[in-house]
């Protein structure tokens, strides 16, 4: 829920409404997601969560970042390497080394001399794209479903003639992640805010997975199909996005002391059960998500006076939330 109600007083009065008989306002996208039945939410397996603990901040507060790894068939070569790196505790003692405004935060071994664990694979550039994808929900399908729900219609959905994307022909969601598609039925993950990718040097290098970054600005979609996307930050991104910007070329920290130490990175299933974070995402193939996406594209909740009539794929973030009882 991200109203741009711009006074603290107004925000407080919304949180504690005092007028009882106003008509029910049209729900915001966040309210639609929150009201979705439990069956529309899918729990994320702890084995698909990467938990990064930074050194505590200046006030001694812990800083935990949780990353959801992408499901098959996307980027599995790099993700296999990442699992091995985490199992080897390879990142412990490495650091956040680069923070470039409106672009990326990047972490790994600043010395570039730390030996990699054995058994990492070298992944081909062809793996930036997946050849076939199960359960792809195009934005057209989502929009058509929202239209059917609103009108109370059954039967085949109506044709949908708005452009979906200015970068490629088709965009939508696969297993809860934003993806784009091309004419040969190939699909690839897109670089939205919070997505996590694999640093690399010049082609044909594709990176091992030891150097990772996350997006902290406007979606740099020109990176799609040029770098492997392996997941997204689902909790704690503020510990990365609010770091001081680096003053060196490309936002690298110039002074070693500016680097932020990484205490540990683990796959959550390696943690003690009570310590495992638990998250779930809103599945995209149901009426709840269709209504949510429609509301993102056509805001009608009280603050808004003019629905946009559309939304780009990165402005329809898939809802993810902590599960009760989780850490």
Which positions from 95 through 134 interact with a second copy, judged by CB under 8 A? 97-104, 106, 110, 112, 125, 128
Q: Show the binding pattern over residues 179-198: x = contacts a second copy (CB under 8 A), - = does not.
A: -------------xxx--x-
Please pick, from the candidates 303, 321, 326, 327, the single residue that binds a second copy as defined by CB under 8 A. 303
**Given the rule CB under 8 A, which of 141-149, 262-270, 279-287, 305-313 is the region that contacts a second copy?**
305-313
Q: Show the binding pattern over residues 243-262: x = contacts a second copy (CB under 8 A), - = does not.
A: xxx--xxx-x----------
Q: How far is the CB of 47 from a second copy (least distance, A)?
A: 26
Q: Report residue 218 as tokens.
A: 């406007």
Please pick, from the candidates 17, 155, 222, 255, the single residue that binds a second copy as defined by CB under 8 A. 222
SS3 266: strand
User: Is 154 among the residues that bind a second copy (CB under 8 A)?
Assistant: no
**Given the rule CB under 8 A, which of 83-91, 144-152, 156-164, 318-326 is the region that contacts a second copy?**
156-164
Phi, psi of 112 (to 5 degrees): 55, 25
Q: How far is the CB of 154 from a second copy (least distance, A)?
A: 28
Phi, psi of 314 (to 5 degrees): -80, -5
Alpha-carbon distance of 139 to 309, in angstroms, equals: 13
**Given the rule CB under 8 A, which of 7-15, 36-44, 64-72, 280-288 is the region that contacts a second copy?**
7-15
User: Is 223 among the residues that bind a second copy (CB under 8 A)?
Assistant: yes
User: Is 164 among the residues that bind a second copy (CB under 8 A)?
Assistant: yes
Sign of CA dihedral 178, 123, 69, 115: negative
Angle at 270 between CA 266 and CA 272, to 5 degrees: 115
Residue 88 burial (CB < 10 Å; 0-12/13-18/19+)? Answer: middle
Alpha-carbon distance of 14 to 4, in angstroms, equals: 12
SS3 239: helix
C-beta of residue 14 within 8 angstroms of C-beta of residue 4: no
């Amino acid at each position: 829920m991200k109203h741009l109600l711009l006074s603290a007083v107004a925000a407080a009065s919304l949180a504690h409404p005092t007028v009882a008989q106003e008509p029910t306002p049209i729900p915001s996208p966040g309210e639609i997601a929150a009201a979705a039945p439990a069956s529309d939410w899918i729990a994320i397996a702890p084995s698909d969560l990467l938990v990064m603990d930074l050194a505590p901040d200046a006030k001694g507060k812990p800083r935990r970042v949780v990353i959801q790894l992408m499901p098959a068939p996307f980027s599995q070569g790099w993700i296999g390497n990442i699992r091995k790196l985490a199992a080897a505790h390879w990142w412990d003692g490495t650091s956040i080394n680069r923070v470039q405004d409106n672009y990326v935060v990047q972490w790994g071994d600043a010395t570039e001399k730390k030996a990699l664990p054995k058994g990492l694979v070298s992944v081909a550039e062809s793996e930036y794209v997946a050849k076939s994808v199960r359960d792809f929900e195009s934005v057209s399908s989502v929009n058509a479903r929202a239209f059917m729900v609103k009108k109370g219609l059954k039967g085949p959905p109506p044709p949908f003639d708005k452009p979906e994307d200015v970068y490629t022909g088709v965009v939508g969601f696969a297993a809860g992640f934003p993806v784009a598609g091309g004419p040969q039925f190939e699909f690839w993950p897109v670089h939205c805010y919070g997505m996590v990718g694999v640093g690399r040097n010049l082609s044909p290098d594709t990176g091992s997975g030891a150097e990772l970054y996350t997006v902290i600005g406007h979606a740099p979609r020109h990176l799609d199909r040029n770098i492997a996307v392996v997941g997204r930050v689902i909790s704690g991104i503020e510990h990365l996005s609010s770091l001081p910007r680096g003053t060196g070329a490309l936002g690298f920290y110039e002074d070693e002391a500016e680097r932020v130490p990484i205490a540990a990175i683990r796959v959550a299933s390696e943690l003690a059960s009570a310590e495992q974070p638990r998250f779930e995402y809103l599945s995209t193939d149901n009426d709840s998500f269709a209504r949510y996406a429609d509301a993102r594209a056509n805001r009608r909740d009280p603050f808004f006076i003019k629905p946009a009539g559309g939304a780009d794929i990165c402005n329809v973030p898939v809802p993810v939330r902590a599960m009760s009882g989780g850490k």
